[in-house]
Structure 1
Amino acid sequence: MPRPLLVLGVGGPADYAEFTLSQVAQAYPIVLADKDVPLWARPYLAHHLPVDLADPPTVLDAVRRHAAEHELGGVLAMDRSAIATVAYVTSARTPHAHDSHGLAACSSPAAVRRLLKRDVFQPRWTMAHGAQSLADHADSIGYPVTLRWPDEPAGPIGPAHTRRELLALYARGRQAVFDATSPLDTVIVEAHLSGPRICAEVVVFNDGGCQLIAVTRTTDGPAPARQALRHSVYAHDELLHNRQIRQTVERTVHALSVTSCVLHIEMTLTSRGPCVTDVSANPANDLIPLLVKRATGISLPQVAAALANSEPPTLAPSRQKAAAVHFAYASTAGGISELALTTPAYRPPVERAVLTQHVGSRVNSVEWASGRDRLAHWVALGDNASACDTTLDEAAKALVVSFAPATSTVDSDAVPHDSRSVNDRACPDLSIPPLGRTATCPNATHTDPAVEETTYVQFRTGASKQRLLPPDSPGTAGDDRVVVQPATLGLSTDDVKAVGGLMAELVSTCAAIGARYDTNDIWQPLAPGPDGQFSEASEVLAHLARTLNRTRAGIRKIHAQAHRRALSRAARIAPGQRGVASS
């Protein structure tokens, strides 16, 4: 039985983080330390320590109390914001650890750059505090420049070629791209870099040696946000053998003095060579671990977990393929009035297709988008990167999206009613995604865990009338003014569409599983070996349970809202009836 692994944070929303957490759970029992546990993560956990990750001493106390009664192995950060806490806990539990300072630095782009400044090529940069400081520093660096907020997951925005452009970029970036809770007055201003963006996925061993596992190539969207439109990983990428990239990786690892971890090193390939822009020591975002797994067979989350537990990782590649993910954004800003994927059949090159917004959401246009503005994403597999690109180009045509007339929080122009996404094409069929996260229904809203825990919803449809008050409420007997027909319960056209969307997701999930497993009344798993087949059965059940929970929670929410509206109407019709509770 492997030693349980202490994991800090779940790594983000299920659409992106579930694969990573599930990979770790397949290899080690997980003890999660975090304030709350999202519903989707619970099947993967052996234990939960409810603590605030922003308070390292409290986390350490909780870990020590748990370790006093249970066996506990190493520590792994799933969120970048938890890396400093991992370093604190690790150094306290293992006083002779030598890499806590470098590991802690990986929690902040600014701290990483300070450690790398003597040994690794990086852009000219400085920290600015406020608009005036920003403009002065940009003048000294020289235009064009880009901006990067230190504690935000989004990449740089820009470029700005003049002071006027810079201040406008700063104001709009604060409004459109970043959370109001972030320290927005502090910003990194850096020289603009021209060239392709890549990420090196690097395993660092206990002795400080390292191995380059994969190179992720990124296709950027339009400026100024330059959000990632596509990531691709190819097992035979020629950049894996590029001498300059390998030297840059080795110098970065040496400068940080980290050991026993997996690093995600971001670079821009400039005319002067690879330029490092950021380094993180938590599993990469944007489904990159999934791409690496599908392309090479190497599970970076399991490698990181093994290293954290002081065990030798499995690094032998078992696949020689390519995998890529494509993200869809809106070409104009506004509220979403229609969002759907045409999914009549399952085609294996597309592994998954996921809607990440719902009708009623407001999004920014691709020029000012953040990761929170993504409409959908697809993952494709192929023999090479070109094959994946072809599949994704075709798959993106299946996205149907329209916007209600609105004004963006950033863009001042009104949004046309039938504007298409940045993937503006026709809409042929697209495969139904297999196991994992299915295409989320257009109207399914993400509810809080307390709502999602609902396991039973009842609609009383047998009676022709439905009382909104208890039968023994004063003044209600025989009073039709407080008896509402089901048609007037409060279900609007949008409510009916939302219910239909929820049911469509449930049916689509079942259809996708049925298409993948042609059982002929016999369960025929695809995974080899008893352990793999058992895990596959568990994954199917968990996938069905998650979808059913979302459907039930969504229907319950819709029904509750309609019920409240009906109560409000009944109160207005019969103001003298004291039995009608105000909403």
Structure 2
Amino acid sequence: MALPVVLLGLLGSGRRDVCGEFPLARIAAVRPVLLVDPDPPGWARPYLTGHLAADPAREEQTAEAVLRYAAGRAVGGVLTWSAEHLLPAARLAGRLGVPGLPYETAAVCADPVALRALLARHRVPVAGPADGEAAQGPPVSVEAVVLDDEVRIVALTRTTPGPAPARRPLRHCVHAHDGLLHNRFLRQCVERTVRALGLTHTVAHLTLRLTARGPRVLSVAPHPPGDLIPLLVERATGVDLAGAAAVLATGGLPDVTPTRQRAAAVQFAYPALTGRLTHLRLDPAAADDPAAERMVLTRRTGDPVTAAPHADLTDRLAHWVATGESAAECEAALRRMARHLTATVTPEPDRSAA
């Protein structure tokens, strides 16, 4: 039997989390999961073989709990999909003596200033906060699997950002035939970034901006991405990013051969006003669209919400996923499905003026 992977924290909490369930299910399909979390929600429990009640944000408490567990049972590796828990995961893997990200690499990836400095020393083009040209370029994310010295770019994620200043993602799209997959400058940039950081045996989510002078690196997350991107990659290419991450974390070599050549996209709905959500309805006819993968409400009436320019991820009202043969087909389907959602936000009185 495969040794369990220690998973630090979840993507969601409380009520059923539709973004976190998919990757958790994929991880559990390839490795037993020992979750470290104060109180896992009900939706997560069917996927777990064990649970340690500890807060990953309290690193020493978490390490003590896992080391006590490992004293009597073997564990195969440590995994997280959260930047917040990247450093504790790296340090814990080192203390357990299991495969994992070197702490120094995790520390650089978690610090944007240190990341830019290291990549600049290795002559990797980066996009800094004062880089006006890079700020104008469209973002693209590279979903890569690093198998020792081999860097496999399994997919590209095109993201449509929302309004400033928050600029939360409105849409992600993955197309197996994205033309950028054959761009040698992007591939060179990704490979040089991976080597500069010393990434090996990991799944990585690299965000770049495309400029007139070529791609520039914005950030590197050496763990599976969130926002249902693993679902889009699986629907478009057949590659299981979350499962691959679990296999790599326990020292194995996953099969990341593409088995599909399609496209998939997700759209997020944000409130137009700040206030209280007084109406939210999804017409069941949305499920009749042949391209519809899913359409899910993620808030409830009565919830306070913040308008898109200042919203965070918890303000999303709903999301819907479409699949098709091309990105254009997916975008058309997303527009059709959007017509099935109705929402009303009632502004609350400004008490500061009283």
Q: How does 1:177-576 map to 2 (within 5 A)?
A: 193-206=135-148, 208-344=149-285, 345-407=287-349
Structure 2: how far apart are the matches of 1:67 and 1:76?
15
CA distance in structure 1 between the partners assigned to 2:110 and 2:96 by the alignment: 20
Structure of larger gyration radius: 1
TM-score normalised by length of structure 2: 0.92
Letter of the structure 2 residue corresponding to residue 124 of structure 1? G
The match for 1:82 among 62, 85, 99 is 85
Residues 97 and 395 (structure 1), Cα distance of their counterparts in 2 relative to 1, 3 Å cut? closer
**Mapped contact 2:116–2:128 kept (Cα < 8 A):** no
Question: Which residue of 1 is the match for residue 75 of structure 2?
Answer: 72
- Quote how far apart the aligned CAs of 1:21 are: 0.4
DSSP-derived class of the 2:209 partner: strand
Three-state SS of the structure 2 residue aligned to 1:193 is: helix
C-alpha distance in structure 2 between counterparts of 1:77 and 1:115, whole Å = 23
CA contact (8 A) 2:206 2:221 kept: yes
Partner in structure 1 of residue 126 of structure 2? 122
Instruction: Write the deviation string for residues 345-397 of structure 1: whole angstroms up to 9, x where unpaired.
Output: 53341111111111112222222222122111100010111110010010011
Secondary structure in 2 matching 1:51: coil
The residue type equivalent to 2:312 in the other structure is: S
Contact 1:194 1:270 in 2 (8 A): yes
Contact in 2 for aligned 1:354/1:376 (Cα 8 Å): yes
Quickly say closer, same or farther: Cα 1:23–1:263, change in 2 above 3 A. same
Alignment-mate amino acid for residue 362 of structure 1: P
Q: 1:66 to 1:404 in 2, by over 3 A?
A: same
CA–CA separation in structure 2 for the residues paired with 1:258 and 1:103: 10
- Which residue number corresponds to residue 3 of structure 1? 3
SS of the aligned residue for 1:25 comes to helix
Structure 1 contact 90–100 (Cα < 8 Å) conserved = no
- Relative distance call for 1:328 and 1:95 in structure 2 (3 A) is closer
Question: What displacement does 1:409 show?
Answer: 10
User: 1:333 offset after TM fit, Å?
Assistant: 2.1
The structure-2 alpha-carbon separation of the partners of 1:3 and 1:121, relative to structure 1 and needing over 3 Å to count, comes to same
In structure 1, C-alpha distance between the alignment counterparts of 2:21 and 2:101, rounded to whole Å: 31
Shift of 1:192: 6.1
TM-aligned CA deviation for residue 306 of structure 1: 0.7
* Post-superposition offset of 1:82: 1.0
C-alpha distance in structure 1 between counterparts of 2:41 and 2:177, whole Å: 37
Q: What is the distance in 1 between the residues matched to 2:322 and 2:68?
A: 45
Instruction: List runs of 5+ in structure 1 lacking aligned partners.
Output: 126-140, 145-190, 413-583
Whole-Å separation in 2 of the counterparts to 1:295 and 1:96: 29
Question: Map of 1:119-198 to 2, 5 A cutoff?
Answer: 119=122, 120-125=124-129, 141=130, 193-198=135-140
> Does the C-alpha gap of structure 1 residues 48 and 223 become closer, same or farther in structure 2, counting only changes over 3 Å?
same
Rate the CA distance shift 1:355–1:29 in 2: closer, same or farther, 3 A.
same
Q: Deviations over 1:152-206 (max 9, x none)?
A: xxxxxxxxxxxxxxxxxxxxxxxxxxxxxxxxxxxxxxx8610111100011123
Q: In the TM superposition, what whole-angstrom CA distance separates every residue of 1:126-159 from its partner, at most 9, and x where no partner exists?
A: xxxxxxxxxxxxxxx58x6xxxxxxxxxxxxxxx
Q: Report the count of equivalent residues.
A: 348
- Secondary structure at the aligned position of 1:274 is classed as strand
5+ long unaligned stretches in structure 2 = none
How many Å apart are 1:407 and its aligned residue? 4.9
Q: Paired residue for 1:12?
A: 12
